Homo-oligomer: A and B are copies of this chain.
Amino acid sequence: MDKSGEYDFLNDLVRFASLAELERIISEYCEKSFYAQTVTLISFQRDTKPITLLSHILDRDLAEFFTTYYARIGFMLDPFYIVAFGEAEFTAHQLREIAPDKFKTSEYYAQYYAKTGLVDELGATIRLGPRIALHLSLGRLGGHGRFRANELRYFKQLSPIILNRLKAILKDPVDVPEMSNAPDLIERYQNMSEPSRSGLSRREAEIAALIVQGHSSRAAGLQLGISDQTVKVHRRNIYRKLQISSQNELFSLLVQDIRGG
């Protein structure tokens, strides 16, 4: 497999002066090197849909899938999106570093992520404001192997430079889109039950969100600083209130909710 130019790529990526130039560099490199098969630059917005600023996806079906599903539903369960609004101002990770413990067997993975054909991702995110962040993603398609340790290292060194330059370029307020009031994952679950029944409590909705993101009861407990037994109790109460009996249905309700409005 030809990996020549894996460093040249990132090196050159640093020398751009506009979004258009960045796009040119990316498409040039993606054609002559196997370093990455997909490159996307996304504006993440807390509580509402992301905006794709740049998307280099050769496969047409995959590109369509990306705009159809990821932009509507998938992003909410994307580990990179979740990390984007965490504490750190800047983050750069390989997917495996931040994916929940059951990510690969989660409903999200099976229904959305697996369809992209991606086997690995490098993602970097820089906060532009309290509710907006810029995300750069490099993807490996099946058959090209995962990113290696040295590739990750180099990405972690250069991606902040790239994203900081982009931040400067995009600081024009024209580029910062309007906010809508679409509810986030937790709010969705809180408002989900039928009017007659009592809805999920804040905590229960938090746990529902973690579960659909692909966390096991144990992992969710660790993250919230509570026991996995407690998580199981919440699970039971969540299922009862929503009149369901499995994780699969919990995911199904989310998709219905998002589609419905």
A residues with CB within 8 A of B: 61, 104-107, 109-111, 114-115, 245-246, 248-249, 251-253, 255-256, 260
Contacts and interface: CB of A to CB of B under 8 A. Distances in A.
Contact of A110 (B105, B107, B114): B107
Contacts of A256: 114-115
6 contacts: A104-B245, A104-B249, A105-B246, A107-B107, A114-B253, A115-B256
A109 B247 CA distance: 12
Contacts of A110: 107, 246, 248-249, 251-252
Contacts of A253: 114
A245 B105 contact: yes
A105 B252 contact: no
Nearest to A119: B243
Report whether over half of chain A's contact residues are helix, strand or loop; otherwise say mixed.
Answer: helix
Contacts of A248: 105-107, 109-111
A111 B115 CA distance: 15
A67 to B, nearest CB: 16
Number of copies: 2
Given A61-B260, A104-B246, A111-B252, 20 more contacts: A105-B245, A105-B246, A105-B248, A105-B249, A107-B107, A107-B110, A107-B248, A109-B249, A110-B246, A110-B248, A110-B249, A110-B252, A111-B248, A114-B249, A114-B252, A114-B253, A114-B256, A115-B252, A115-B255, A115-B256
The 10 A-B residue pairs whose C-beta atoms are closest, nearest first, are A110-B248, A110-B252, A105-B246, A114-B252, A110-B249, A105-B248, A114-B249, A115-B256, A111-B252, A107-B248
A111 B107 CA distance: 10
Contacts of A249: 104-105, 109-110, 114
Contacts of A61: 260
A110 B245 CA distance: 10
Nearest to A114: B252
Contacts of A260: 61
A260 B62 CA distance: 11
Nearest to A110: B248
A149 B110 CA distance: 38
Contacts of A245: 104-105
A60 B97 CA distance: 43
A249 B104 CA distance: 9
